[in-house]
Amino acid sequence: MTFQIVDASALDVGRGPHPAASPFEKRVGEAVGITAFGLYQIELPAGEETVPHDHRDDRAEDAYAIVRGGGWVIVDGEETAVGPGQFLAVTMESSRYLRAGPDGLVFIAVCAAPATP
């Protein structure tokens, strides 16, 4: 097969295998057969939040793309509002989690170890 298309609405929601997994995530990367990085769509209902975590041990980098709704990213205890169309990244050492506002929060997370030269 040369390509794979998956509709996120057809995927089950549930906690993945990694330590920071959220019970609200859809494991898109697994569904399309990606193994080089983690790719998730997280659909937080109003007031829910992801698991606070950092990547000191696994040295992974996270990037998030806000798709729908709104809420906050909390980095090292500091809250910053986020909304659709915004992209964000957090350093490996910083603790982070996202919390949904009253309309919920849908975002894409990409997680990978940095490339080595």
Contact criterion met (CB below 8 Å) for 70 and 101: yes
Higher-pLDDT residue of 3 and 73 is 73
More confident position, 52 or 84: 84
pLDDT digits (tens, 9 = 90+) for 70-94: 999 999 999 999 999 999 998 888 8
3-state secondary structure of 9: helix
What are the chain's domains? 21-112 (2.60.120.10)
pLDDT digits (tens, 9 = 90+) for 5-39: 888 888 888 777 666 677 889 888 888 888 888 89
Q: At residue 29, what are phi and psi to the nearest 5 degrees?
A: -55, -45
Instruction: Provide the pLDDT for residue 19.
Output: 63
Question: CA–CA separation, 79 vs 29, rounded Å?
Answer: 28
| DSSP symbols for 19-42 | TT--TTEE-HHHHHT--SSEEEEE
